[in-house]
């Protein structure tokens, strides 16, 4: 991963915990090149997007969300074309209603 980590034994840990309001370990705070905090919850972004979330900017996360939305839309459209509704029903995605 292209970032630095502070070891648990590091003497700056208490100061960093207070500064970034860290309540649990492990935590991941993303700090941009200018020294400003980009995200206080980069761990969640990593869990969703993996290392692709780097550099944790809003623009990057919006780009990744668009990709996820496009993938979901493609899967939904594939499902509509291959699934047949039972006689007397109309299905939209996973929701079917009687006609």
Structural domain span for residue 38:
1-56
What pLDDT score was predicted for residue 81?
47
**Per-residue pLDDT reduced to its tens digit, 41-95:** 788 887 777 778 888 888 888 888 888 888 777 766 665 544 565 666 677 766 6
Q: In terms of domains, do 7 and 26 share one?
A: yes
Q: In terms of domains, do 39 and 62 share one?
A: no
42 touches 56 (CB < 8 A): yes
Q: In terms of domains, do 75 and 33 share one?
A: no
Q: In terms of domains, do 10 and 48 share one?
A: yes
H helix or E strand, kind and range, residue 59: helix 58-82
Look at the chain and count its residues.
99
Q: In terms of domains, do 51 and 26 share one?
A: yes
Residue appearing with tokens 């500064």: 19
Q: In terms of domains, do 51 and 98 share one?
A: no
Q: In terms of domains, do 1 and 41 share one?
A: yes
Q: In terms of domains, do 50 and 79 share one?
A: no
What pLDDT score was predicted for residue 8?
76
What pLDDT score was predicted for residue 28?
82
**Per-residue pLDDT reduced to its tens digit, 2-42:** 667 788 788 888 888 888 888 877 788 888 778 888 888 78
Tokens of 3: 């970032």
CA distance 12 to 33: 20
Dihedrals phi, psi of 83, to nearest 5 degrees: -95, 135
Dihedrals phi, psi of 95, to nearest 5 degrees: -105, 125
CA distance 73 to 28: 31
């Amino acid at each position: 991963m292209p970032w630095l980590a502070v070891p648990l034994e590091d003497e700056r840990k208490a100061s960093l915990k207070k500064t970034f309001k860290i309540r649990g370990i492990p935590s991941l705070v993303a700090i941009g090149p200018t020294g400003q905090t980009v995200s206080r919850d980069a761990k969640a972004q990593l869990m969703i997007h993996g290392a692709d979330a780097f550099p944790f900017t809003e623009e990057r996360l919006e780009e990744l969300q668009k990709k996820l939305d496009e993938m979901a839309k493609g899967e939904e459209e594939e499902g509509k074309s291959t699934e047949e509704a039972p006689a007397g029903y109309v299905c939209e995605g996973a929701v079917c209603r009687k006609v």
